[in-house]
Amino acid sequence: MAANNALQLTSVDFDGIKNDLKTFLSNQTELGDYNYESSTMQILLNLLAYNTYRNSFYLNMVGNEMFLDSAQIRSNVVSKAKMLGYTPRSVVGPEAEIQVTISPGGSPSVITIDANTVFSASVDGRNYVYTNPKSLVVNANASGVYSGKLPVVEGRPLTHRFTVSSASPVRYVIPNDNVDTTYLTVRVQESSSNTTTTTWTQSTDITGLTANSRAYFLSENEDGRYEVKFGDNVISKQVNDGNIVLVGYRVSTGLDSVGANNFTSSTTMGGYSNYTLRSTIASTNGSNRETIDSIKLNAPRSYTAQNRVVTAADFRTSILSYFTDLQAVSVWGGEENDPPIYGKAFISTKPKSGLYISDNRKNEIKNYLKDKTILSIDTEVVDPTYLYIRPAINVTYDPDDTTSTASGIASGIESILTSFETNNLNLFGKDYINSDLAIDIGNVNSAIKSTRIDVKLEKENKPITTTSARYNISFNNRIYHPHKDHMYAVASTSFTYQGRPCFFDDDGNKALRIYTLGAGNQRTYVNKNAGKVDYTTGRITIDDILISAYEGDAITFLVDPDIDDIKPQRNQIILFRNARINVVNAETNNLEASVSNVTTTGTSTTTAALNSQSATVGLYSAVY
């Protein structure tokens, strides 16, 4: 059988290609020195192999850059995303609110603070420019004080002019790298002599566009800059020769100035120079430009959703891609709610900074979704609720196995608690697994011989103090109740009921009771049927009662979970709070270090006021 003398180039690395060439030559009879590195044949082989290798490398690169999953160069990723109808998010300037109080020295009817008044704020020694996108009309109040709250956004407002010419056509590329397209405006002036301008609106699809629609399309070009494109008189109106395109935009530094709260201004306010500025909302929200990884993640999902939101994943993708200040979104249908509320889609959001979003932001989310949801589905944006785990950590350690002190071990466990909360909890849908924490704690120091973690669950409720109401407190995890008549599965902090400081507990048979403490901590029951405790679902229902005051920021309910692995539901987020650490010497059995109230994220969270939450079924805290 004849040998296969054909040249096989199956390898992709240099040495492999060269070996393929050598194999080929070994089947030839004319030349023999291909095996010696210093021979002339080797020089030729190197040249051939190098050339083949370069070609295969370039081919590999081209192949990679052809697909969204493997492309590495931004312009290629953006180009692939463009084919899916996806425009990457621009940098977004953070927003703040300033209370402007003006002393005009007279009594003008109103004072108008013009749009784009420049304010300055300093963060980490660097100055940032904030301006107000809209003008503000300030009226005098009853005391004659001219004061108003002015929303401001970080970034310098700029306008760029393009003259339309078919003879020497230009691309309408915004000549700046850090354009915040949130405030992008496109106006078209008739000509240099006719200053009539019309405002055009951005369109993300061609649905509903006619030949007369004044719409423009926005995309990121190959240089990473945003480009405005107009229609062709078939799909949206075309711009004509002599028109002047005026593109207004902001140039922002993104997240750099988040937290700014020391605003100053060197200009007058409405023409008056005697004024004071006070930050009412420190700079928040904002985002940096969308990264390559984020584009790769969001573009296909955005395409799948087709600019509509139907499934829970559609909601999440759409909201997260548009509202850049949000860290996480949880979405569930009303039929999954407890109690079920049909015809609604519930959305809960966790901002990147802070715990809750403002009511204005909730309305913005609702409005954004209005044209994207299917008919008959109403959206409801609710705050996340925090379910707190109170871990009591007891470790024993052998002092002979370590140079660390008991305090040092306790300190190490504190760090683990904080990092575990950050990495494993603190988002929607993140379960608490008791054994995972125990393993992490065991790894703090090799001298730790045993770890025991007892957990209790805390939940807060901020009642209405002016009127009686019903409340639901849902732990969504089974409450420890081994048998009938097992009392005191529920405990609470103090509140005022019928003019007396009271507490909640249960009778062991599903009844919630209210009691006061007498001499010797004797419980005197004021109301033996104040509500119900469902030990199986972990829900406490409080009947229609008036709680006129409460201790601290809210009433805290405390239960023992039936099992120590805790699962959050819907808009619940698990955090640690009131953690306690005990370190015991295994040789002496002495408690050598103890830390109470470890500082965690859960330590500083507060419960949202009920009046900002849903009360659609006449039951406060319905959405938990």
Partner 1 sequence: MASSGSINPISKEVSFSDLGISMTPHPVTGKLTVKKNAEAVVSAIKNLILTNRFERPYDPLFGSDVKNRLFESFDTIEQANIERDIQTAIENYEPRVTISDITVVARPDSNRVQVGLSFFIVNDARPVEVGLEIERTR
Which residues would be at the binding site for partner 1 (CB under 8 A)?
14-15, 30-33, 36-41, 43-44, 46, 50
Give the whole-angstrom CA distance, residue 44 versus residue 31. Answer: 12
Comparing CB distances to partner 1, the nearer of 49 and 152 is 49
Q: How far is the CB of 42 from partner 1 (least distance, A)?
A: 8
Q: How far is the CB of 45 from partner 1 (least distance, A)?
A: 11
Comparing CB distances to partner 1, the nearer of 44 and 392 is 44
- Can you list the pairs that 80-86 forms with residues at least 24 positions away whose Cβ atoms lie under 8 Å? 80/299, 81/295, 81/296, 81/299, 82/219, 82/220, 84/299, 84/300, 84/302, 84/303, 85/204, 85/205, 85/302, 85/303, 85/307, 86/295, 86/298, 86/299, 86/302, 86/303
Q: How far is the CB of 2 from partner 1 (least distance, A)?
A: 24
Comparing CB distances to partner 1, the nearer of 30 and 124 is 30
Comparing CB distances to partner 1, the nearer of 50 and 67 is 50
Residue type, position 612, single letter = S
Comparing CB distances to partner 1, the nearer of 31 and 62 is 31
Beta bridge partners of 228: 172, 218
User: Which two three-digit tokens encode residue 465?
Assistant: 């103090």
Comparing CB distances to partner 1, the nearer of 32 and 63 is 32
Comparing CB distances to partner 1, the nearer of 51 and 465 is 51
Give the whole-angstrom CA distance, residue 127 versus residue 156. Answer: 12
Comparing CB distances to partner 1, the nearer of 15 and 544 is 15
Q: How far is the CB of 59 from partner 1 (least distance, A)?
A: 18
Q: How far is the CB of 17 from partner 1 (least distance, A)?
A: 10
Give the whole-angstrom CA distance, residue 607 versus residue 455. Answer: 21
**Which among 395, 406, 359, 408 has a CA at the least distance from the CA of 380?**
359
Place of tokens 């509500």: 531
Q: How far is the CB of 38 from partner 1 (least distance, A)?
A: 4
Place of tokens 């099992």: 563
How many other β-carbons are positioned within 10 Å of the β-carbon of residue 326? 20
DSSP string, 106-135: S--SEEEEPTT-EEEEEETTEEEEEE-SS-
Comparing CB distances to partner 1, the nearer of 20 and 506 is 20
Q: How far is the CB of 233 from partner 1 (least distance, A)?
A: 56
CA dihedral sign, ordered 141, 146, 152, 158: positive
Q: How far is the CB of 224 from partner 1 (least distance, A)?
A: 33
Comparing CB distances to partner 1, the nearer of 36 and 58 is 36
**Which among 285, 313, 286 has a CA at the least distance from the CA of 298?**
313
C-alpha 310 chain-centroid distance: 21
Comparing CB distances to partner 1, the nearer of 15 and 335 is 15
CB distance 502 to 526 below 8 Å: yes
User: Which two three-digit tokens encode residue 262?
Assistant: 């020391």
- Can you list the pairs that 127-132 forms with residues at least 24 positions away whose Cβ atoms lie under 8 Å? 128/154, 128/253, 128/256, 128/257, 128/260, 129/154, 129/155, 129/156, 130/96, 130/154, 130/155, 130/257, 130/260, 130/263, 130/283, 131/155, 131/156, 131/157, 131/250
Q: How far is the CB of 51 from partner 1 (least distance, A)?
A: 10
CB distance 396 to 409 below 8 Å: no
How many other β-carbons are positioned within 10 Å of the β-carbon of residue 239? 21
Q: How far is the CB of 5 from partner 1 (least distance, A)?
A: 19
User: Which two three-digit tokens encode residue 189?
Assistant: 């002036």
Q: What secondary structure letter does DSSP report for 291?
A: P
Q: How far is the CB of 183 from partner 1 (least distance, A)?
A: 52
Q: What secondary structure letter does DSSP report for 287?
A: B
Comparing CB distances to partner 1, the nearer of 44 and 246 is 44
Comparing CB distances to partner 1, the nearer of 40 and 407 is 40
Comparing CB distances to partner 1, the nearer of 39 and 191 is 39
Q: How far is the CB of 47 from partner 1 (least distance, A)?
A: 9
User: Which two three-digit tokens encode residue 302?
Assistant: 């955005």
Give the whole-angstrom CA distance, residue 307 versus residue 27. Answer: 62
User: Which two three-digit tokens encode residue 138?
Assistant: 């300030």
Beta bridge partners of 319: none
Q: How far is the CB of 23 from partner 1 (least distance, A)?
A: 18
Q: How far is the CB of 49 from partner 1 (least distance, A)?
A: 8
CB distance 404 to 413 below 8 Å: no
